[in-house]
């Protein structure tokens, strides 16, 4: 048995930053944005407890609002079917601000950074 061989190869994306904060993940069910999502997409929680990708719009084409609660842990391909989508997200840890994204040209705000910090997501510039 050769335990010194390389198991896989990954391309660094610089999403994770530092080890000062414990890193933890879980699976959530979120509103299906009907488009591909990239690792590092900011996931927010609406007042009704539903989750959605930052920059997503509601039925009346207005941007949805809520607290930044998690960060997508993997790429998700476009899914045109279904109302919801199960995804793995980071719920705590330290992250690189420049690797955090959203959909529909979403730009991370200072309010997002502060709201994420309430939940254990530390976004560093």
3-state SS record for the chain? CCCCCCCCCCCCCCCECCCCCCCEEEEEEEECCCCCECCCEEEEECCCCCEEECCCECCCCCECCCEEEEEECCCECCCCCCCEEEEEEEEEEEEEHHHCECCCCCCCCHHHHHHHHHCCEEEEC
Q: Could you list the residue range(s) of the whole structural domain that residue 120 is in?
A: 24-124
Residue 32 lies in a domain: yes
Indicate the length of the chain as a whole number: 125
Q: What is the pTM of this model?
A: 0.84
pLDDT digits (tens, 9 = 90+) for 42-51: 999 988 889 9
Within-domain flag for 2: no
CATH code for the domain of 56: 2.40.300.10
pLDDT tens, 55-112?
Answer: 988 766 667 788 999 999 999 988 778 889 999 999 999 999 999 999 988 999 999 9
User: Of 3-7, 84-88, 119-123, which gets the smallest average pLDDT?
Assistant: 3-7
Whether 116 is covered by a domain: the verdict is yes
Whether residue 66 is contained in a domain is answered as yes
The number of folded domains in the chain is 1
């Amino acid at each position: 048995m050769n335990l010194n061989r390389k198991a896989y190869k990954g391309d660094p994306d610089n999403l994770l930053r530092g080890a000062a904060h414990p890193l933890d993940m879980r699976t959530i069910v979120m509103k299906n944005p009907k488009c591909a999502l990239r690792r590092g997409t900011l996931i927010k929680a609406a007042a009704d407890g539903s989750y959605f990708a930052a920059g997503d719009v509601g039925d009346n084409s207005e941007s949805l609002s809520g607290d930044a609660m998690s960060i997508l842990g993997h790429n998700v391909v476009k899914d045109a079917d279904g109302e919801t989508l199960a995804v793995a997200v980071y719920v705590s840890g330290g992250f690189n601000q420049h690797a955090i994204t959203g959909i529909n040209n979403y730009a991370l705000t200072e309010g997002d950074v502060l709201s994420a910090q309430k939940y254990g997501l530390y976004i560093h510039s």
